[in-house]
Structure 1
Amino acid sequence: MNPEKLAKLQAASAAARIGGKGTPRRKVNKVVKTSGSDDKKLQATLKKLNTQSILGIEEVNMFKQDGSVLHFPTAKVQAATLNNTIIITGTGQKKDLTELVPGILTQMGAESLAQLRRLAEAYQQAAAAGAGPSASASADDEDVPELVENFE
């Protein structure tokens, strides 16, 4: 670019500047999008279904066919009896059934208990298949060799 034109543009922009020492800074308002609008739409839809909150439910566990559990530690449960609908809101975590076993035995039905029994049998078979060769190897490791000569 031509140096004369560049000097001319710089001089023009310096003259057009406003502000300086002591003038307030211009603040930029950043727009923050929240998921509140989605929540409002959901609540409006639930209100149309005439749902009622069910109190006293601390956690929700949904048992899947593959042996995993969809666990909601802090769930909000609502129900619409006329529509035969139950709504569970909250953050769900996918966990293995064995992680939750002691605390959820009272919540399990007959189908889930049968599934837990099958899962336990599968673990026992896997342990028995894995323990066969390793059991003889560990027995060999536990044998203490006899002393052949005196070390003193």
Structure 2
Amino acid sequence: MNQEKLAKLQAQVRIGGKGSARRKKKVVHRTATADDKKLQSSLKKLAVNNIAGIEEVNMIKDDGTVIHFNNPKVQASLSANTFAITGHAENKQLTEMLPGILSQLGADSLTSLRKLAEQFPRQGGSHVLPSLAQGSP
């Protein structure tokens, strides 16, 4: 190797200036695929089983937003009390999901939905319905 290249490489290893200690190790940043492989291997150790037939998963947060998975891959290990839901997730507002999500809401979510409905101002003020007069023939 060339002496200039070697000196250049040695200079890059130092944290401070001349006379300071060299760094202990180079930090290698992981990619998302490496994290996914590690997660899958951990799930395999827990002996998770695939659960088929689940079309959607909705996780309702305290602030009224919903994490929505459409056609997720659901895995579960009842002995380890572990559930894994993987797939494309979307963050949506509770109002966007309303017609189809009403049957899935619990008591806590229904009270937050009532509070959300009270926040919206009533449209058009107070309307009095006119009485329909029956005319005699």
- TM-score strictly above 0.5: yes
- 2:65 maps to 1:68: yes
Q: Which has the higher helix share?
A: 1
Aligned length: 96
Determine helix, strand or coil for the equivalent of 1:47.
helix
Gap regions ≥5 residues in structure 1:
1-33, 133-152
- Greater radius of gyration (CA): 1
Report the CA distance between 1:83 and its aligned residue: 1.5
- Aligned to 2:97, the other structure's residue is in SS state helix
- In 1, Cα distance between the equivalents of 2:52 and 2:114? 32
In structure 1, the residue matched to 2:104 is: 107
TM-score, structure 1 normalization: 0.56
- SS of the counterpart of 2:79? coil
How far the C-alpha of 1:38 sits from its partner, in A, is 4.1
Partner residue of 2:41 out of 38, 44, 47: 44
Deviation track 1:52-108 (CA, whole Å, cap 9, x = no partner) reads 111111111000111111111121111111121111101211100000000111111
Say which structure is richer in strand: 2
Q: Kindly tell me: are residues 66 and 36 of structure 1, through their superposed partners in 2, closer, same or farther at Cα, counting changes over 3 Å? A: closer
What SS class does the counterpart of residue 88 from structure 1 fall into? strand
Is there any run of 5+ residues in structure 2 with no aligned partner, and where?
1-30, 126-137
- Which residue does the alignment assign to 1:26? none
- Aligned ranges for residues 2-151 of structure 1 at < 5 Å? 36-123=33-120, 127-128=121-122
Give the aligned CA root-mean-square deviation in angstroms: 2.2
Distance 2:57 2:88 in 1: 11
Runs of 4 or more above 6 Å deviation: none
CA deviations on 1:12-58 (whole Å, 9 max, x unpaired) are xxxxxxxxxxxxxxxxxxxxxx9655443322111101111111111
User: What's the TM-score once normalised by structure 2's chain length?
Assistant: 0.62
